[in-house]
A and B are shown apart, each in its own frame.
Chain A
Amino acid sequence: MPTTKTSPTLAVFKLASCDGCQLTLLDCEDELLTLTGQVRIAHFLEASSAVEPGPYDLSLVEGSVTTPEDAERIRAIRAASRHLVTIGACATAGGIQALRNFADVDEFRRTVYAHPEYISTLATSTPVSDHVDVDFELRGCPIDRGQLIEVITAFLAGRKPDVPNHSVCFECKRRGTVCVTVAHGTPCLGPVTHAGCGALCPAYGRGCFGCFGPSGSVNLPALIPVLRRDGMDDEAVMRFLHTFNTAAFDKELNS
């Protein structure tokens, strides 16, 4: 069924990010034709240079706010969007670039750039929800394709997305994966990490490295002695937590 002028409009925007999350939408190959039958894609620069002006019924935003311009731009995007859904670790937690939050950005600027005066950047990388109201946050680095379709489907139907808030452990147990921590002594962030990936890494014998960020119910301080028991020293624990969701895990550790 072709879309019409009255079909809901979908827009995709990016801030500071690698584009992997919006690419996930293009990766939904089996669903793309059905999707374009249900929504009019009005703004999606990675797919098409033809853009329509807002307002948009559903906007997907990837990336974190790292510049004064983006801090302004996200307000404009919010104002043009009936529903705003952030996608991925950058947009929901600040991303790997939030490592700057624990360092001196001016020092980076002086060290990396020949003309640091050309660089306009904020001292922090922050999630979109620090700046504007967000209707739903879809986690992951990158997001899960099935979950993205579920979120879009749910917003089209006007219902709550079926995106559980619990830990990755639920997913391991449901798929029958043997616990890598208990049976192998492998450090794993699964007990504190938001489900959504289907417990991919433990299914291949690796510990979860937390790319979906903290779950809806986290007791991160309780995991530290477990990581230490399984052979991590303080620095290894710090490095384990300081990846794609570094700011979110840091907040959990110090809350």
Chain B
Amino acid sequence: MTATAAPVVLDRDGLGALVAALVAQGRTVVGPTVRDGAIVLAEMTSADALPYGWGVELDAGRYRLVAREDGAAFAHSAGPQSWKSYLHPQRELLWSADRTPEGDVSFTSHEPDVPAYAFLGVRPCDLRAIAIQDRVLTGGRFEDTGYGKRRRGALLIAAECTEPGATCFCVSTGGGPAADPGYDLALTEVVDEDGHRFLVRAGSEEGARLLEQVPHRAADVATEATARASVDGARDRMGRSLPPVDLRDLMGASLDAERWNDVAERCLTCGNCTMVCPTCFCTTTEEVTDLTGDHAERWQHWDSCFDLDFSYLHGGPVRSSARSRYRQWLTHKLSTWHDQFDTTGCVGCGRCIAWCPAGIDITEEVAALHAERGPETETETETETETETETER
């Protein structure tokens, strides 16, 4: 790496210049901005659109914007969308077919939309979520080509976490408020008596080249120390945590738990948790025709294990009860995801807690399952698993 591998400091104008440089390169810059009472992700052409002076107050089923006196741009936690809205869009045309008057049928595969994205302000939890979706959507034998192309062309500018929300629990999923490798640039926002500035580290050659194009200064000891202390401090201020147990083991042993009935009474089965989850990747495909019947299209769009049609086989849905669908979501996320993708499916961003209208809290549900399990032996749990499979069918 070049000399710019040493951290540098940008001020607000420097961040503005960074966004301008990305726009000048022809990149589609996406970052956080305030809209409709929330900090959402949106395309932007200027750093002025960042949510300077806005923070959030979070709780289960509750999200409120709050003004911040310090004017910080990245002192908020995960909003209603994640980067999958851009990398793994909710709807994508896969192919179309046309029939000529002579009856010949031709097929056209559709090239995915691949803007050259620059994502500004990717939280460390979301950086991990992108890495998980990389495994899921590009790591197997059949790559999601649209995702793969968009992902490989995307520049990631992380914003380390200095202000975790009340619904955050990344530390207990093995993460933390510091950005793991995988970013092109990582910012740490510092606001104190010495001014509003961003400590920036390059994580790739492209990130380093980009930094050279914008006005910056070498990082001073005080800024580095403050930035490090803010991120370290955030680690201890997570609003929530998962119980410190082997979650794969706990989920596997809890398939017959009473707690699923309890949560099923509160679960609206509305699907919000899966839509806001930055790792949930499930899609369905639909073929549609036009009125003439001579043109057909296949679309891929987001689906959810909470949708009855998601598990519909001939004759009916396999997972008809709310209990079986919530259980599928949680056990997949925390347990069978490991078997499938060799990683957890949860990064602890807390979106499913905040954006559940009923305020169902994944950490509370896991804690309850842990409490219900008690000191059981492995032999007993295996028997329960078999019984449960039969009753669910």
Contact = CB atoms under 8 A, between A and B. Distances in A.
A223 B358 CA distance: 7
A15 to B, nearest CB: 27
Contact of A216 (B62, B90, B308, B355): B308
Interface in A120-155: 149-150, 152-154
A170 B307 CA distance: 9
A94 interface: no
B268 A31 contact: no
A178 interface: yes
Interface string B21-39: 0000000000000011110
Contacts of B271: 166-167, 169-170, 173
A182 B286 CA distance: 31
Contacts of A35: 291
B357 A165 contact: no
Contacts of A191: 268, 270, 272, 357-358
A104 B322 CA distance: 37
B354 interface: yes
A77 B358 CA distance: 44
A157 interface: yes
Interface string A188-221: 1011100000000000010000000000111101
Contacts of B36: 177-178, 183, 205
A166 B293 contact: no
Contacts of A169: 270-272, 275, 357
B357 A226 contact: yes
Interface stretch (B127-135, B184-192, B298-306, B339-347): B298-306
B61 interface: yes
B40 interface: yes
A188 B270 CA distance: 12
Given A164-B309, A184-B37, A179 B302 contact: no
A222 B80 contact: no
Nearest to A184: B37
B66 interface: no
A179 B276 CA distance: 11
A162 interface: yes
B63 interface: yes
Contact of B309 (A157, A181, A216): A216
Contacts of A53: none
Given A38-B292, A157-B293, A170-B307, A219 B322 contact: yes
A181 B38 CA distance: 12
A5 interface: no
B85 interface: yes
B308 A182 contact: no
Given A167-B268, A179-B355, A223-B268, A157 B62 contact: no
A219 B267 contact: yes
B269 A217 contact: yes
B38 A178 contact: yes
A38 B291 CA distance: 7
Contacts of B282: none
A115 interface: no
A169 B35 CA distance: 18
A165 B308 contact: yes
A162 B38 CA distance: 32
B291 A217 contact: no
A159 interface: yes
A182 B355 contact: yes
Contact of A153 (B38, B289, B309): B289
Contacts of A119: none
B91 interface: yes
B290 interface: yes
Nearest to B312: A165
A217 B302 CA distance: 17
A7 interface: no
A2 interface: no
10 contacts: A164-B307, A165-B309, A170-B302, A174-B90, A176-B80, A177-B36, A181-B357, A182-B80, A191-B358, A216-B309
Given A150-B288, A169-B271, A222-B266, 19 more contacts: A35-B291, A38-B293, A154-B289, A162-B287, A167-B270, A170-B307, A173-B276, A174-B90, A174-B302, A176-B40, A182-B62, A182-B80, A183-B65, A188-B357, A219-B267, A219-B269, A222-B268, A226-B357, A229-B61
